[in-house]
A = this chain, B = another copy of it.
Amino acid sequence: MTSRSATATARTSSEARAVARTQTLIKGEHGIGTVRRTTLPGGLRIVTETLPSVRSATFGIWAHVGSRDETPALNGATHYLEHLLFKGTRKRSALDISSAIDAVGGEMNAFTAKEYTCYYARVLDTDLPLAIDVVCDMLTGSLIQEEDVDVERGAILEEIAMTEDDPGDCVHDLFAHTMFGDNALGRPVLGTVDTVNALTADRIRRFYRKHYDPTHLVVAAAGNVDHNKVVRQVRAAFEKSGALKDPAAQPLAPRAGRRTVRAAGRVELIGRKTEQAHVILGMPGLARTDERRWAMGVLNTALGGGMSSRLFQEVREKRGLAYSVYSYTSGFADCGLFGVYAGCRPSQVHDVLKICRDELDHVAEHGLTDDEIGRAVGQLQGSTVLGLEDTGALMNRIGKSELCWGEQMSVDDMLARIASVTPDDVRAVARDVLGRRPSLSVIGPLKDKQASRLHDAVA
């Protein structure tokens, strides 16, 4: 039995080698990297961006799982699991994992979102093999032991408490709840004290086995990297762990959901003795794949994306009513949000909300000036290029693109898409999105009378 299965493995592995598909997706020049993709038999995708002029490399693995995939009882499991992958593998203790990357001055971390989880290490290019070894080991060989689950529960409960202590952060979780309600998108990524206390090692291990199959993963590396070497090393690591068992397995397609956000005129207030009232006024936005997202990006930038934006000018520059005021979009597979955040003294919350609401209404009706649109186009283009200067940002871009869109876009194509946005496109998306009835989330020390007036902002 042993020798037969060894032969079978060897044959599968050599058949598999024959059918690995590699494509060059973007040809680099002038400081732009070359992007390549290899799909291994077993369904593991590997994308790299090679930029030989830098001295660093970032290696990451993206998992197609986020808090959106949790049942109510499992809320927080994705994030809990993210912590546990740092706690030890068959080959390494937690200290071995952190020491390995610390010893070369690298930066290793992970983040969990509603639709994906990412683990990464940023290192000097000469240390890339080490980073690949450690991160692949964490993804394929974690033990998730009972005692680690118990100790890490404490750290996660502290993380929840720390977030609670930062109302400017916390109000974003509240806004997700206001907009999505009691479902997976409306629940916090970290989970709650109750759900985290109820999660067991056994449930988390099941969650791990279900969601970390190679077909659910995208490997991404960027910087001074050699695509073929990365592929060889990643393949060896995954084959050794027995993870690439089925040569016919195909990568999971990008997520497709069917959620429509219907929230309109909702108000949620958490009373807390803070110095500022932290507010988000917003409405349903665009899904990540919506073709109007380029126009929406221009609109968002002009409205609240910088110091020269409408909201910054009206709320802070002219009136000094806030220090921090900005707008943002968040896109999911099937839906999205548009929001305006402001932090201001509680006594001024109604003034601030009125100014923001008036601007949204005004832009929904009249659009933006050509001047504002031209400036926002330039701002998005410049910040796109400037935002891709470090290898961490490059790795994020290609990894997320592969997982969420299943394709790669060159920087030149992105700049062209931004440039092609017309004032009419912006007006159309403003009329649609900003014309929707907003909802409102507030954390702050508002008295009853003030609280009841909040509904005026979303009337």
Residues of A that sit less than 8 Å from B by CB: 31, 53-56, 86, 94-95, 97-99, 101-108, 122-124, 127, 150-159, 161-162, 164-168, 273-276, 278, 305-309, 312-313, 316-324, 343-345, 374-375, 378-386, 389-391
B320 touches A154 (CB 8 A): yes
CB of A28, distance to nearest CB on chain B (Å):
13
Known: A106-B383, A165-B168. 19 other contacts (CB 8 A): A31-B53, A53-B54, A54-B389, A55-B385, A95-B308, A102-B306, A102-B309, A103-B375, A105-B379, A106-B382, A106-B386, A122-B386, A151-B318, A158-B276, A158-B322, A161-B276, A161-B345, A162-B343, A389-B390
A320 to B156, CA, bound (A): 8
Given A107-B383, A165-B167, A321–B158 Cβ distance below 8 Å? yes
With contacts A54-B389, A124-B382 taken as known, whether A102 is within 8 angstroms of B162 at the C-beta atoms is no
Quickly give the copy total for this chain: 2
Quick one: given A154-B319, A168-B166, are A99 and B308 in contact (CB under 8 Å)? yes
Closest Cβ neighbor of A382 among chain B residues: B105
The complex places the Cα of A154 from the Cα of B351 at a distance, in Å, of 14
Complex alpha-carbon distance, A211 and B157, angstroms: 47
Instruction: Tell me whether A123 and B154 are in contact (CB under 8 A).
Output: no
Query: With a CB–CB cut-off of 8 A, which chain B residues contact A379?
Result: 102-105
Q: Please state if B386 and A322 are interface contacts (CB–CB under 8 Å).
A: no
- A155–B378 contact, CB under 8 A? no
Q: Which residues of B contact A55 (CB under 8 A)?
A: 31, 385, 389
Interface pairs (12), CB distance under 8 Å: A95-B308, A95-B317, A98-B306, A102-B375, A151-B320, A153-B320, A158-B276, A158-B324, A159-B323, A161-B343, A165-B343, A166-B168
Q: Residue on B with the closest CB to A312?
A: B98
Cα–Cα, bound, A168→B159 (Å): 12
Assuming A98-B308, A104-B379, A386-B124, is B158 touching A168 (CB within 8 A)? no
Evaluate contact between B165 and A107: CB separation under 8 angstroms: no
In the complex, are the beta carbons of A102 and B155 less than 8 A apart? no
Chain B residues whose CB sits within 8 angstroms of the CB of A389 once the complex forms? 54-56, 389-391
Which residues on the B side are within 8 Å of A98 (C-beta)?
306-308, 312, 317
A375 vs B95: C-alpha distance when bound (angstroms): 12
A276 proximity list for chain B (CB < 8 A): 158, 161-162, 165
A56 cross-chain contacts in B, Cβ below 8 A: 385-386, 389
Q: A323: which of B106, B151, B162 is its contact (CB, 8 Å)?
A: B162
B162 touches A275 (CB 8 A): yes
